[in-house]
Each structure stands twice: as structure tokens, then as C-alpha cells.
Structure 1
Amino acid sequence: MPQHLNIALIQSHLYWEAPQENRTMFEEKIDSISNEVDVIVLPEMFTSGFTMNPEHLDASEGIKTVEWMQGQAKKKDAAIVGSMVFQEDDKFFNRLWFVQPDGGLSTYDKRHTFTLAGEDKVYEKGEKKIIEYFRGFSFYPLICYDLRFPVWSRNAENYDVLMYVANWPKPRIEAWNTLLKARAIENMAYTIGVNRIGHDNLGHEYPGHSAVYDTLGNPIAYSEKEEIIYTTLDKAHIQSTREKLKFLADRDDFTLK
């Protein structure tokens, strides 16, 4: 079973409500990856930016992007992860896709829609977690505003990696920094956060701060500029810290309704 996993985080600007332009841009960035990687992580709504007007996007764009992700995953022999606007049965979802190199995929619909921006009025709320297994590691992928809710992030499944894709704006970036570190510490899991960078068409600025923290909350990767960020996860680090400290064994038991 693999003991190490190589991760690439693509911290990028986004073209506003322009799926084809974004796919072309991300394909160029993915093609530029010369390192051997196992997982490539893209930001939240990576084909459109954080739009509250999903009707501006053709309904076919979701399927086109999923097929594009499958092609990229096969080409790079790596899993591709990111969320997008997805239309299904006349409803809109902020849906994350975890796409494996063999074409297999899992989806997660954002549980905590961002009420401050009216996301709750536009996108359907997700109800189910997913735990994805890939190359010896278990992943729990979430989306942006989910970061503020530790109960939903809680490591009840003994997952290895907690992952957030985001469009997190500059005025609240210290909350992003602090909460990513906190989620890593309390869940004793590698915690990955991938934010976008640049400005959107509504005037919001996004400063990046994509990062990876180890199981003790130590930063092992971080960036504030447009770039691809590389890091390696170590299975032995997870096992040794959990066996030594055993904090997860003292968790309170409860269930979500």
C-alpha cells in the first residue's frame, strides 16, 4: 500500500462565467505539471467563479466539465478534484467532483450554502458526506463555507485527509487561515485548502492563501500568488501521531440529524 501521496494545488484566477475559457486555462496549467503527482486540486466553482446566476451557464457545461476532468485525470494518471455549477432536473448545485484516473467519480453537494451571498436561495443544499479512497489514503472533500462548521468536518470516519476547495475573499482571509489550522489539529488529519486568487466581476478580491497542514497543525505548504503548489503526504506521519497522542479516541459520541 502506498505510503506517500504527491499533491498539486492549483491556485489560479478564474474567468467569470466562462467554462470553456477556464477549462482551457486549467488544462494548460495541468499540462505544465512536470512533477509526479497523484492528486490535483482545483478551486471552488473553477469553471465560473462564485456566481449566483447559474442560469447564465448552459446546462450542458456541467457534463462537459466532468468529461474534461475524466480526460485530464487519465492523461496525468492522477485524481482531479474541484467544484462547479451543475444543473440537474432544473435545480442548481455547487457540486464537487472527485474524479479518478480510471474515470470513476464521486460527488459531494455543498452542505453549507453561503447565506451572506444568497447561495442558499440559488443552489440546493447537500445532505450527504463522501469519503473517497485513493492510492492508500482516505479523503473527506468539502467546499468553502463548510470550513466554518466543525461538526460537519468532524473526523468520525478516521479519514486521512480533509480537503476544502474555496472562493474565500480577502476581508475574511484570517478566518480561513485560522480555521484550516484548527480543522487539522482537532481532526488529526492532513488538511488541504485550495483558494482562488484575483478579482471577480462583482469586485471581490481573493488572496489565495492555499495551504496544507499536517496532523498537528504545522504548515507544510502555503502560497499567496498564482502558482501550482506541491506537497507530499506521509501515511506514517498520520499513523505515528495518532498512535502516540490518541486524541481521536477521546471524541464525544453524537449523531447528526
Structure 2
Amino acid sequence: MRLTLAQLEQDAGSVDTALDAAESAVEDAAADGADLVALPELFAVGYFAFESYARVAEGLDGPTFGRLRDIAADHDVGLLAGSHVEDLEASADAGYDVPDNGGLANTTTFFDRDGSLQTTYRKHHLFGYESAEARLLTAGEHLEPFEFDGFTVGTCTCYDLRFPELTRELVDDGVTLLLVPSAWPYPRVEHWQTLTRARAIENLWYLGAINGVGAFDSATLLGRSTVYDPWGTALASAGDRPAHVTADLDPDEVTRVREEFPALADRR
């Protein structure tokens, strides 16, 4: 299975322009044989554009999610559609299951090759340090792994990387590939590289960490999107400019590594 991480430039501009850039990236990745394309966290508005969250928020039946659904179907790829600001009340009105306390959420979706919505993940750990995310958004409550091309795929978002108990839950759910859409800023390069690699090593799975690039008034995203194998070896990575990060993954490799080094079976 060929995975492409689309490291996109973020700004606080037009959602439509950001979606056009995302579609162009998906089109190029599909032409290169990608089966699954992953986009960064809040790429359409920019994570640090907190004043725009309410303006761009919509339900899961809204136009942004609809456009992403069409992008997956039009290019015949699985699409981990980064994340977008979800209006939970609007989603509930459309018949979706949402957290009871409502509000807005940082929501990741995965669309299959036919554009069908396979899973929804709402960021569990909301960042508070010099960030308005924890004040503006509602935390998610559920993990929903999904099946794609021989992998059981899980997802978490950016700050979630600092909480390994969440990924242990995903291991227990059978996950063999973790995708992590992010908006990780400078100067915490070592944190980004260490935590992503550690989550791959300790769980003996593939991990695709998809970050954005670009500068905001309060922060600059550091890029460095990377695909790790189950040993924690980087298969492909980028710097801090827009890029495609592509690697071929073998679901049988996860089984082989876990049999050769059965650390998960030795947990107490």
C-alpha cells in the first residue's frame, strides 16, 4: 500500500483556496500511485487562526467535508482528510453521533475510495499552552479505527502524541498503522521527532506523521512530516517546505516485527 503525506502550507486565508491546494496534492499523489493520502491538521483554516474557527465551522454534511469526500472519490484514493472545525450541533441535526456537550471540535475524517465516510475522530487532548484551542473546542470521546488495504488504521491529532495511553488503546484495538495530522510549531523540533518515532517503536506499527508548514503571527509550523516503519526507522521525510512524503507499506511487516520482537505480548 502506497501512503503519501501531503505537507501543505497553511495560512488564515480562503478555505476554498486551501481545498484547491489539497485537491492538487491528492491529484499528484494519485498519479504517483498513492492508495492513501493524508492531510495536516486544520489545513483549510490554519491551526493558529483561532478567530476564524467559528466562521469556518460546519457539520459533517457541510460543504468542506463534502468537497473532501468528492476529492477522495474523484481520485480513487483513501483520504485522511486532515482535520476541520466541526459544528457539533449541526452534525447532530444531520443525524451524526456527537459528544453531548456540543460546541466545536477539531475533527478528522477518513473517506474511502468511493467517498464514503469511514470514520470520524475528534481530537482528545486540547492544547492550552499559548493556544485558545482548549477554550474554543470540545474534546473528543471515542476512538474509531478503520480497515483499509490490509491495515487497521487509527488516528490521533498533534498534541495527542504526548499521551501514550491513547495509542496503547489503539494497539489493543488491533491498529497496525497510525496517522497523525498535526500543526506542530517551532521551536519544538526535537519533541516532534522524538514523540513520533517513540510512538512507532513502542507500538511496533507504521506511523505517518503529517505536519503543516507556514507562518502565523504567533507561530511557524516546522513541517518534517515523516513515515516510520514498525522498528521506528524513517522511510521518508520532508523539511519545512511544502512536500509530498511517500512510502510503500506492507501490512505483513507489522506481523513479522511483532513476532520477532514480541514486546507487546510482554506487557504486564
TM-score for the superposition, normalised by structure 2: 0.88
Partner residue in 1 for 2:231 = 216
Separation of aligned partners in 2, 1:62 and 1:45: 17
1:20 aligns with 2:36: no
Aligned-residue offset at 1:29: 2.1
Partner residue in 1 for 2:138 = 124
CA contact (8 A) 1:194 1:210 kept: yes
CA contact (8 A) 2:127 2:159 kept: yes
After the TM superposition, which segments of 4 or more aligned residues of structure 1 sit over 6 Å from their partners? none
Matches within 5 A, 1:1-257: 5-33=1-29, 34-50=31-47, 51-53=49-51, 54-57=53-56, 59=58, 63-81=62-80, 82-89=82-89, 91-105=103-117, 106-116=119-129, 117-154=131-168, 155-200=171-216, 202-224=217-239, 225-252=241-268
Partner residue in 2 for 1:255 = none
Aligned length: 247
CA contact (8 A) 2:57 2:84 kept: no
CA contact (8 A) 2:227 2:245 kept: no
**Range with bigger deviation, 10-19 or 213-222:** 10-19
CA contact (8 A) 2:107 2:121 kept: yes
Separation of aligned partners in 2, 1:249 and 1:132: 23
Q: Match of 1:169, as an amino acid?
A: P
Q: Match of 2:16, as an amino acid?
A: Q
Separation of aligned partners in 1, 2:116 and 2:28: 24
Separation of aligned partners in 1, 2:196 and 2:109: 21
Separation of aligned partners in 1, 2:41 and 2:126: 12
Q: Deviations over 1:111-130 (max 9, x none)?
A: 00111113111100101111
CA contact (8 A) 2:11 2:214 kept: no
Q: Match of 1:29, as an amino acid?
A: A
Separation of aligned partners in 2, 1:31 and 1:192: 19
CA contact (8 A) 2:213 2:221 kept: yes
1:15–1:61 Cα change, 3 Å: farther
Separation of aligned partners in 2, 1:236 and 1:39: 17
Separation of aligned partners in 1, 2:228 and 2:219: 26
Partner residue in 1 for 2:95 = none
Aligned-residue offset at 1:37: 1.1
Q: Secondary structure at the match of 1:228?
A: strand
Cα RMSD for the two superposed structures: 1.6
Q: Secondary structure at the match of 1:159?
A: coil
**Percent of residue pairs bearing the same amino acid type:** 29
Aligned-residue offset at 1:236: 2.3
Q: Secondary structure at the match of 1:45?
A: coil
Q: Match of 1:99, as an amino acid?
A: F
Q: Match of 1:83, as an amino acid?
A: S
Separation of aligned partners in 1, 2:254 and 2:126: 31
Kindly indicate which of the two structures has a greater share of residues assigned to strand: 1
CA contact (8 A) 2:57 2:104 kept: no
TM-score for the superposition, normalised by structure 1: 0.91
Separation of aligned partners in 1, 2:220 and 2:142: 31
Aligned-residue offset at 1:25: 1.5
Q: Secondary structure at the match of 2:40?
A: coil
Q: Deviations over 1:160-188 (max 9, x none)?
A: 10111000001112101000010001100
Q: Deviations over 1:212-238 (max 9, x none)?
A: 111111110110131111111112211
Separation of aligned partners in 2, 1:177 and 1:66: 30
Aligned-residue offset at 1:70: 1.3
